[in-house]
């Protein structure tokens, strides 16, 4: 593993995040980097934590469990960013600090049922803004109703929204997706639902994180840009 390459990739990502914040007149402390480690070893993830990254994202429960075991000596906030099967709900509620991919009422109900007594489950509701069939998430047109039902589940704490934009060559093309998610969050806020906070917008990956930050992302999920050439 090439730690100096990892370090320069991280510097580059941080610099680009700061520049996007500056363009949007945002305070860089409002945007957190979630390093997506799904394609790399626990050692590479450890090296990144050594460089000051505290938030790691994984998209599979089993792989996350392996990494959590290897990195148990480190203080890491773990993010679940991939689709969860309901039969993994019991593990997921114990393993993750934030589940970005609450993509249906059915899954949210499973998470609620599996939460240990007195345990709250912080989630983001994943919205399929682009409407692509290949993507998980509640459809934007019914998101408010769905969110209301999810928020009614006693253990669930909705802390914001998450989306994945379509893959495109030019990130400008997906700006409307991020705008739509931000507006949806604003609409939810005005409704003042009990136990619902819109404090996070999880949007932006390697291809489009700068545009996502310009449109209000508070969590960017980045893998490739960090681990390229490492
Ligand atoms: C893999 C993944 C990412 C990171 O993608 P990169 O293009 O490698 O930055 C972000 N979000 C989700 C949901 C992912 O599955």
pLDDT tens digits for 204-225? 999 999 999 999 999 999 999 9
Q: At residue 41, does pLDDT exceed 90?
A: yes
User: DSSP state, 198?
Assistant: E
Give me the mean pLDDT over the 59-76 stretch. 98
Query: Residue 36: what pLDDT?
Result: 98
**What DSSP element (H or E) covers 101?**
strand 98-102
**What is the three-state SS of 132-179?**
CCCCCCEEHHHHHHHHHHHHCCCCEEEEEEECCCCCCCCHHHHHHHHH
Task: Looking at the CA of residue 209, tell me the nearest atom of ligand 1.
Answer: 9
pLDDT at 190 exceeding the cut of 90? yes
Q: Are strands 98-102 and 32-36 parallel, antiparallel or unpaired?
A: unpaired
> What residues are paired with 32 via a beta bridge?
219
Q: Would you say the CB of residue 84 lies under 6 angstroms from ligand 1? A: no
Cα atoms found within 13 Å of the Cα of residue 68, Cβ hemisphere only? 19
Closest ligand 1 atom number to CA of residue 36: 4
Q: How does residue 134 score in pLDDT terms, banded at 50, 70 and 90? A: confident
For residue 59, the CA-to-ligand 1 centroid distance in Å is 9
H helical segments located in the chain = 3-24, 42-50, 61-70, 89-95, 105-114, 143-151, 175-191, 209-214, 224-227
Bridge partners of 202?
A: 162, 219
- Ligand 1 atom closest to Cα of 225? 9
Q: Which of 13, 16, 34, 36 to mutate to test the pocket of ligand 1 (most atoms within 8 A of CB)?
A: 36
CB atoms within 10 A of CB 43: 12
Residue 207 Cα: closest atom of ligand 1: 7
- The share of the chain scoring above pLDDT 70, in percent, equals 100
Protein residue whose Cα sits closest to atom 7 of ligand 1: 206
User: Which residue out of 223, 228, 230 has the highest number of ligand 1 atoms within 8 Å of its CB and is therefore the one to mutate?
Assistant: 223
Q: On the CB side of 80, how many CA atoms lie within 13 Å of its CA?
A: 30
Å from CA of 224 to ligand 1 middle = 8
Residue 120 pLDDT level (bands cut at 50, 70, 90): very high
């Amino acid at each position: 593993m090439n730690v100096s390459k990892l370090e320069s990739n991280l510097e580059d990502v941080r610099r680009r995040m700061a520049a996007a914040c500056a363009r949007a007149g945002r305070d860089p402390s409002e945007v957190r980097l979630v390093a997506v480690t799904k394609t790399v070893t626990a050692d590479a993830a450890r090296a990144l934590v050594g460089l000051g990254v505290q938030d790691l994202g994984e998209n599979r429960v089993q792989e996350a469990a392996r990494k959590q075991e290897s990195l148990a000596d480190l203080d890491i906030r773990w993010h679940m960013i991939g689709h969860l099967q309901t039969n993994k709900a019991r593990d997921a509620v114990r393993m993750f600090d934030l589940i970005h991919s609450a993509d249906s009422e059915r899954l949210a109900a499973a998470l609620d049922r599996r939460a240990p007594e007195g345990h709250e489950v912080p989630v983001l509701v994943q919205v399929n803004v682009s409407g692509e069939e290949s993507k998980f998430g509640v459809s934007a047109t019914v998101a408010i109703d769905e969110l209301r039902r999810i928020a009614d589940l006693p253990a669930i704490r909705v802390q914001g929204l998450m989306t994945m934009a379509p893959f495109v060559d030019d990130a400008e093309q997906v700006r409307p997706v991020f705008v739509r998610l931000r507006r949806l969050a604003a609409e939810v806020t005005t409704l003042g639902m009990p136990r619902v906070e819109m404090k996070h917008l999880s949007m932006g990956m390697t291809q489009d994180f700068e545009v996502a930050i310009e449109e209000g992302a508070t969590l960017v999920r980045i893998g490739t840009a960090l681990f390229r050439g490492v």
